[in-house]
Amino acid sequence: MKTNTAISRHHAGPPLLSLAVVHTLLFVISVAALRLLAHPAAGSQVLNPYGPPEAARTFFAANPRALQVSAFFLFGSAVPLAIYAATVLSQLRFLGVRAAGTYIAFTGGLAASFGIAASGLCSWALSIPEATTSAAMTRVLHFMTYLCGGPAFAAGFGLLAAGVSITSFFGRLLPRWLVWFGMLIAVAGELSTLGLIWLPMTVAIPVTRFGGFVWLIAVGVALPKRLTEQNS
């Protein structure tokens, strides 16, 4: 007489929740470091690359240490995001998802991670005294910091959110609200690229960034880590 037994397998890999929390904390520390360590007399600590070039140059020249510390943590935040992208690909495949969306999510996650890393490195370069002696060099590095950490990051993160959300919808792996929230983040991420030709669309970048923190953590909690199979 044959009997059916349930075999439960656990995904082998770093927990998504921990990676999402570490990524979020490193980014928050990066922002906080620039605010707390910057010289109060140097002007605004939240600088718009489209603002007055001389104000930005003065700020960067006066705060090399604050820039270095902030850039260090910003660059560091790219690492757990890249690991998150690889882990979520592995976890979705473990759960039986074979759709191309898993690789789209992985590619998007890597692109977002590379964007943050490049933004951190460009920000660090602004701490070099020679970089701030030239207004043109300062402006170029400032825009590269923004472009890599803004539109480039958001477009990649949008692909990550879309890939995970769509495959999870068809596989019924995530709550419906979380799927739609992920799709909202994905749309915001892709729309943010329109800011390159129409400035008001840059408002989609913080939506992607800060909404993305919540989405990453929520997926880390909700995505199943165990797979149960029937063995007869």
Burial per residue of 66-89, b for 16 or more beta-carbon CB atoms within 10 angstroms, e otherwise? bbbbbbbbbbbbbbbbbbbbbbbb
Q: Which helix (H) or strand (E) holds 129?
A: none
Task: Give tens-digit pLDDT for 168-201.
Answer: 999 999 999 999 999 999 999 999 999 999 999 9
User: What is the per-residue pLDDT for 1?
Assistant: 47
Report yes or no: 44 and 59 within 8 Å, Cβ to Cβ: yes
Please state the separation of Cα 98 from the chain's center in Å.
24
Decide if pLDDT at 87 tops 90. yes
| Other CB atoms within 10 Å distance of the CB of residue 109 | 27
- What share of the chain in percent tops pLDDT 70? 91
Please state the separation of Cα 155 from the chain's center in Å.
10
Higher-confidence residue of 63 and 9: namely 63
Decide if pLDDT at 66 tops 80. yes
Asked which of 3-12, 60-69, 95-104, 118-127 is least confident by mean pLDDT, the reply is 3-12
Average confidence score pLDDT of the chain: 91
The token pair at 4 is 């059916």
Report which listed range, 6-15, 51-60, 207-216, is most confident. 207-216
Q: CA angle at residue 143 from 139 to 148, to 5 degrees?
A: 150
Assign 55 a pLDDT band (cuts: 50, 70, 90).
confident
Task: Give tens-digit pLDDT for 8-53.
Answer: 677 888 999 999 999 999 999 999 999 898 876 555 555 788 888 8
The token pair at 212 is 């993305």
User: What is the per-residue pLDDT for 6?
Assistant: 54
- 231 CB-contact burial (10 Å; exposed 0-12 / middle 13-18 / buried 19+): exposed
> How far apart (Å, rounded) are the C-alpha atoms in residues 141 and 125?
7
